[in-house]
Amino acid sequence: MENEPKTPRRVTINLRSDLHERVMQRAVELDQNPNYFVNQCVEGILDAIDAEEIAQDIPILKMARILKGKTLLDAKWVGALCAIFAPHAEEITVWHRRNFAELANRHEGKLTEEFINLYWKQAVEMTRQRMETEKQIARLKKTAGNDK
């Protein structure tokens, strides 16, 4: 018993060469040892596959999304929530979903119906403002192009 290794036994598995650069880049971004990063990715996916729950929290994915300022909510869940609160589901854009997910993701405490309604209204307004800004930019570019 005294001779048993304290760390799990290591095996060699080949990584496709086209993934090597991406793995190394992400490991550096997350300040992780590349081997540890790969093991965390594999462990998280295997846990998700084995889980009985519909949604599975994958710690390395959660850390990466938080560090990059991305939302954590699953896109299907966001779409379903948006469809419940939007008057016309066919009018929901990717920006509606993204804005809603970002607002809901920052929420602390119980996410009640009132908060969901508030975040939906804010997401709609943020999307409207974005669309208006894009229209203004397009008009300015068109005008600037005619001045040449």
The per-residue pLDDT string of the chain (148 residues; one tens digit each, 9 = 90 and over) reads: 566 667 778 888 898 999 999 999 999 998 999 999 999 999 988 888 888 776 667 778 777 877 777 666 655 666 677 677 666 655 778 788 888 888 887 888 887 888 888 988 899 899 999 999 999 999 998 887 766 5
Q: Is 8 exposed, middle or buried (0-12, 13-18, 19+ CB in 10 A)?
A: exposed
CA 116 to the chain's CA centroid: 19
Whether 80 and 63 share a structural domain: no
Out of 5, 32, 67, a domain closes at: 67
Whether 30 and 63 share a structural domain: yes
Q: Is residue 61 part of a domain?
A: yes
Whether 53 and 87 share a structural domain: no
pLDDT at 137: 92
Whether 85 and 136 share a structural domain: yes
Q: Is residue 33 part of a domain?
A: yes
Whether 22 and 55 share a structural domain: yes
Structure tokens at 71: 């939302």
Whether 79 and 139 share a structural domain: yes
Q: Is residue 4 part of a domain?
A: no
Q: How many domains does the chain have?
A: 2
pTM equals 0.50
Whether 33 and 56 share a structural domain: yes
Q: Is residue 31 part of a domain?
A: yes
Whether 83 and 140 share a structural domain: yes
* Contact status, residue 43 vs residue 70, Cβ threshold 8 Å: no
Give the C-alpha separation, 53 to 106, whole Å: 23
Only one residue has tokens 């996916």, namely 45
Whether 81 and 42 share a structural domain: no
pLDDT at 55: 62
What Cα–Cα distance (Å) separates residue 47 from each residue in 9, 50, 66?
A: 19, 5, 20
Q: Is residue 28 part of a domain?
A: yes
How many CB atoms neighbour CB 68 within 10 A? 9
- Tell me which residue range forms the domain holding 82: 75-146
